[in-house]
Amino acid sequence: MCICLMKPGLPGMPHKGAAMTTTLSALPAAARASSQPKVKGVQHWSNALFVLPFVLVYIALLVVPVVTGLWLSLNDVDVLSGDRAFIGLANFARLWHDDIFRGAIRNTFLFVLMTTPAFVALGLALALALNRQDRVGTALRTIFFGSSVLSVTIVTLVWRLVFMTDKGLLANVMHSLGLASINPLTSSALALPAIALVTVWWIIGLPMMLFLAALQQIPEEIYEAAAMDNAGRWRTFWSITLPQLRKTVALVAIIEVILQFQLFGQAQLMTNGGPNNSSRPLVQFIYEAGFQQWALGYSAAAAQVLFGLMLIGVALQMWISKRGQTQSGEST
Amino acid sequence: MQAGMTTRSLLALCLGAALGTGHAATEITLARFFGACEADYGKVTDVSKATGECGTITSLVNQYNATNKEGVVVKAEVAEWGPYYDQLTSRIVAHNVPTIAVMHQSVLGDFVSRKLVEPLDDGFKSVGINTADFTPHAKRGVVIGGKTYALPFDTWSWLWHINVNYFKKAGLTTPDGQPILPKSPDELLAQAKKIKDATGKPYFSWTTANETAAPTRTFLTLMYQQNAQVFGADGRKISVHTPAATNALTLMNKLWTEGYIKKGLDYGATQQAFTSGDVAVDVVGNWTINDFLVAAAKADSPLHDGYDVVPFANLYGKKAIFADGHSWVLIKGGTHNDAEKKAALSFLKFLWDHDYDWSRTGHLPANNKVVQSAQYQGLPYRKNILEITQIGVTTPSNVPRQRAIEAIIGEEISSMMLSGKAIPAVEDAIESRVNTLLASVH
């Protein structure tokens, strides 16, 4: 009975829809009449009670803050005194002319572009290398995932020591190679890439695990068939593994785009947004406007911009992956 | 009958307990920075055995808890100093207000203007704190509109901590071994060259990585020494398109580009560079004096028999130096009843009575009587820095958002040093960003 709930013409399901229409028309009219109310469940409004707790929590913790944030962005609000005045879109106009804000947008996009491909490529590479059922594989999986459980404070402290001028690990390595040492955190060109490197090192474990889980879902028979056809390792990878992982690649990319748009702790603790605003992300801008300058409305306006950018980024990502799927479906 | 007896017994037990202890404990909270050192000082109840800011304040709280007769328990809530005000702001907004909070005098005006801080004149009278004993600098910091809003705890400033051994090597000491200080920017650059030639070390270490306070304080000191007006009379406009600002920035930039400031140091690395003998002068506040004295006492230290500390050298005409101070405030909503308020005032009185102990850390006392005491003046190097109570300059309290402004100034100067931002562009950016911020304050 449950197929009656599916709508004919659902994207990607034209054949099933047609079959369903045929099935329904074949049913006796009386049977259809008697089954419809039960199927639609119109009278069973009390079923909504099952989802009510979720809906209430969702409204309280998501919808209300989003709407409040939107309203705040249209006001001039002092965070400490609570004084506010409606100023329309003035906060957004001020953002438009704010060089620091524009820099923060640039930095955030650059950071997402640096880290997301790295998470996908490196996560997949590690998963392929460690997709083995022996002790070495288990130990290495634990080690690579281990850094993900550390707090941002610990991770940034460790890496600040690595990058420390003259006495850090990097400086020692460069000295041993006869090169002058450099602290990337004090260089406008290197600060953001250094934060990206730290971030990838820190949380590469999650993409690796997602890829590992996906790899283990691929039926062994396909590989056996490929082996019987004398397919080489690269051919097997390109024609079997990668197509089977398409959805996981999209998942990892979407998760990482959402996460990396929210960069904050690493940048604040390692560079404080400097030098010359070269590593200040949007969330740090929002934090500083709200908690250092006490301009809550201005901070909320910047948060709305971030929300919009994330929405666009994720929508784009989903559209690309869906388009890829459709094309691949058409070609097969 | 049984139930009645039980109730009576419980009441009697409670009454007995109350009578036995004299008072029920009143717990108050103390929000502060200065670091956490429970492992070393968690059980120390004699402040004379403590050194450093963290050890001293932790021991002071322990000593008060162990000795006060009112049954007051002070519970310290420690935050890192960087995000301290962000956390305090969040707590006030969330109505989770500490009973007492430490506050820089430069920040106090923002809280007073929002009526968030209790005036304390009557409270001070009730516990015997005489505001006439406040030093002039402390008084300027905590008295706003004729009312006293905080208990001043110290005055701190921007000092040169000197490795005299390096000055000696470069021939920059007097016959009696005192370091010769430069009296102009040119003299400073010449000294820096001499130090580099003689020791191979940069002249200065000051924090340039991941912090904006050091460049701001140096810049403001150089401005005040030129008798420059940084802010307008109403505190709502900054002007740095001035010859004085250009002079200050040019000097800082020259020191940086010519390699006279050690590069890439965050706060911890800056202090380490000085104690490990990597630089001749560390530019930092009073609070490190005690720690450097301890380091200099070690025979294998590069500072051994060669540590000195003086106010930031006077490079222009006027004797002046950036100064600020720590104070203690009662934020509105932090005390819930008279007992808590009384307890808070009792603890403030204890802190005031132990201003000398706090001044051992290197901070200048806020209590005139301590400043003039032989005990204080007998502490090492204190005579060198005592004039700060006279020449210290604080940003006027009518300038709002001083913390955010200091961050902007420091960030732009760091951009000049780290990224080669041109001086006119730095001046443009400081004026534009600070004035936009000030214009947004109502």
Delineate the domains of chain A, giving CATH numbers in brackets: 1-43 (no CATH), 97-331 (1.10.3720.10)
Question: What is the C-alpha to C-alpha distance for residues A131 and A171, in angstroms, rounded to an integer?
Answer: 35
**Given CB atoms, is B92 within the 8 Å cutoff of chain A?**
yes
Residue of chain B whose alpha carbon sits nearest to that of A76: B440
* Residue A278: alpha-carbon gap to chain centroid: 23
pLDDT confidence of residue A325: 67
B278 with B133, same domain: the answer is no
Residues in A closer than 8 angstroms to B85, CB to CB, are 291-292
In the predicted structure, residue A317 carries a pLDDT above the cut 60: yes
Which amino acid would we find at residue B289? I
| Contact (CB<8Å) B209/A273 | no
Ranges of beta strands (E only) in A92-229 are none
Question: What is the C-alpha to C-alpha distance for residues B409 and B407, in angstroms, rounded to an integer?
Answer: 6
B299 with B347, same domain: the answer is no
- How big is chain B by its Cα radius of gyration, in Å? 24
Nearest to B215 by CA among A272, A294, A270, A194: A272
B109 with B161, same domain: the answer is no
**Given CB atoms, is A172 within the 8 Å cutoff of chain B?**
no
Longest dimension (CA), chain A: 89
Q: How confident is the model at residue B84 (pLDDT cuts 50, 70, 90)?
A: very high
**Given CB atoms, is B266 within the 8 Å cutoff of chain A?**
yes
| Contact (CB<8Å) A275/B111 | no
| Contact (CB<8Å) B440/A298 | yes
pLDDT tens for residues A99-109? 999 999 999 99
| CB within 8 Å of chain B, chain A residues 283-322 | 287-288, 291-295, 298
Nearest-Cα distance to chain A for B437, in Å, is 8
| Structural domain span for residue B298 | 157-323+401-439
B1 part of a folded domain: no
**Given CB atoms, is B423 within the 8 Å cutoff of chain A?**
no
Nearest to A246 by CA among A312, A318, A311, A314: A318
Question: What is the C-alpha to C-alpha distance for residues B303 and A190, in angstroms, rounded to an integer?
Answer: 35
All residues at 6 or more sequence positions from B324 whose CB lies less than 8 Å from its CB, including other chains = B104, B105, B106, B141, B155, B156, B157, B394
Locate B44 and state its tokens: 């120390």
All residues at 6 or more sequence positions from B283 whose CB lies less than 8 Å from its CB, including other chains = B158, B159, B160, B161, B204, B205, B206, B214, B218, B312
Of A80, A275, A288, the CB nearest to B89: A80
Specify whether the backbone of B171 is left (phi greater than 0), alpha (psi in -120 to 50) or beta: left
B238 part of a folded domain: yes
In the predicted structure, residue B18 carries a pLDDT above the cut 80: no
B11 part of a folded domain: no
| Contact (CB<8Å) B404/A292 | yes
pLDDT confidence of residue A224: 93
Is the torsion defined by CA of B408, B409, B412, B414 positive or negative? Answer: negative
Locate A229 and state its tokens: 């056809």
B149 part of a folded domain: yes
B223 three-class SS = helix
B185 with B269, same domain: the answer is yes
B196 with B306, same domain: the answer is yes
Locate B347 and state its tokens: 């603890």
Mean pLDDT of the A246-269 span: 93
Q: How confident is the model at residue B363 (pLDDT cuts 50, 70, 90)?
A: very high
DSSP secondary structure code for residue A240 in this structure: I
B256 with B184, same domain: the answer is yes
Nearest-Cα distance to chain B for A287, in Å, is 9
Residues in B closer than 8 angstroms to A165, CB to CB, are 209, 262-265, 269
The CATH number of the domain holding residue B214 is 3.40.190.10
B216 with B275, same domain: the answer is yes
B314 with B435, same domain: the answer is yes
- Across the beta sheet with B326-329, what order do the strands follow? B72-78, B26-32, B100-104, B326-329, B151-152
pLDDT confidence of residue B386: 86
In the predicted structure, residue A313 carries a pLDDT above the cut 90: no
What is the number of CB-based contacts under 8 A between chain A and chain B? 95
Residues in B closer than 8 angstroms to A187, CB to CB, are 418
Mean pLDDT of the A65-89 span: 91
Whether B292 and B285 have beta carbons less than 8 Å apart is answered as no
In the predicted structure, residue A11 carries a pLDDT above the cut 90: no
Integer angstrom CA distances of residue A139 from A123, A132, A136, A153, B159? 16, 11, 5, 25, 52
Locate A143 and state its tokens: 């080690």
Mean pLDDT of the B134-157 span: 93
Locate A325 and state its tokens: 């799927």
| Contact (CB<8Å) A183/B407 | no
- How big is chain A by its Cα radius of gyration, in Å? 26
Is the preceding peptide bond at A275 cis, omega within 30 degrees of 0?
yes
In the predicted structure, residue B64 carries a pLDDT above the cut 90: yes
Cβ atoms < 10 Å from Cβ of B406? 23
B42 with B142, same domain: the answer is yes
Residues in B closer than 8 angstroms to A269, CB to CB, are 210
**Given CB atoms, is A156 within the 8 Å cutoff of chain B?**
no
**Given CB atoms, is B414 within the 8 Å cutoff of chain A?**
yes
B137 with B257, same domain: the answer is no
Residue of chain A whose alpha carbon sits nearest to that of B415: A276
Nearest to B214 by CA among B172, B274, B163: B274
- Which of A16-30, A96-110, A259-273 has the lowest average pLDDT? A16-30
| Contact (CB<8Å) B421/A276 | yes
Question: What is the C-alpha to C-alpha distance for residues B50 and B377, in angstroms, rounded to an integer?
Answer: 19
| Contact (CB<8Å) B89/A166 | no
Instruction: Work out the angle at residue A78's Cα, subtended by the Cα atoms of residues A73 and A81, and round it to the nearest 5 degrees.
Output: 140
pLDDT confidence of residue B396: 86
B16 part of a folded domain: no
In the predicted structure, residue B96 carries a pLDDT above the cut 90: yes
What's phi and psi for B91, nearest 5 deg? -65, -40
Q: Which helix (H) or strand (E) holds B16?
A: helix B2-21
DSSP secondary structure code for residue A274 in this structure: -
Nearest-Cα distance to chain B for A272, in Å, is 5
Residue of chain A whose alpha carbon sits nearest to that of B429: A99
| Contact (CB<8Å) A277/B93 | no
> Would you tell me the crossing angle of helices A246-261 and A296-331 to the nearest 10 degrees?
170
pLDDT tens for residues B383-436? 888 888 888 998 888 899 998 999 999 999 999 999 999 999 999 999 999 999
Nearest-Cα distance to chain A for B124, in Å, is 26
Ranges of beta strands (E only) in chain A are 75-77, 84-86
Residues in A closer than 8 angstroms to B440, CB to CB, are 76, 293, 295, 298
B148 with B192, same domain: the answer is no
Total number of domains in chain B: 2
**Given CB atoms, is B442 within the 8 Å cutoff of chain A?**
yes
In the predicted structure, residue B189 carries a pLDDT above the cut 60: yes
Nearest to B351 by CA among B114, B127, B161: B127
- Share of residues in chain A with pLDDT > 70 (%): 84
B392 three-class SS = strand
Question: What is the C-alpha to C-alpha distance for residues B396 and A52, in angstroms, rounded to an integer?
Answer: 56
Instruction: Residue count of chain A, please give it.
Output: 332
**Given CB atoms, is B305 within the 8 Å cutoff of chain A?**
no
Mean pLDDT of the A168-191 span: 91
B356 with B338, same domain: the answer is yes
Residues in B closer than 8 angstroms to A76, CB to CB, are 440, 442
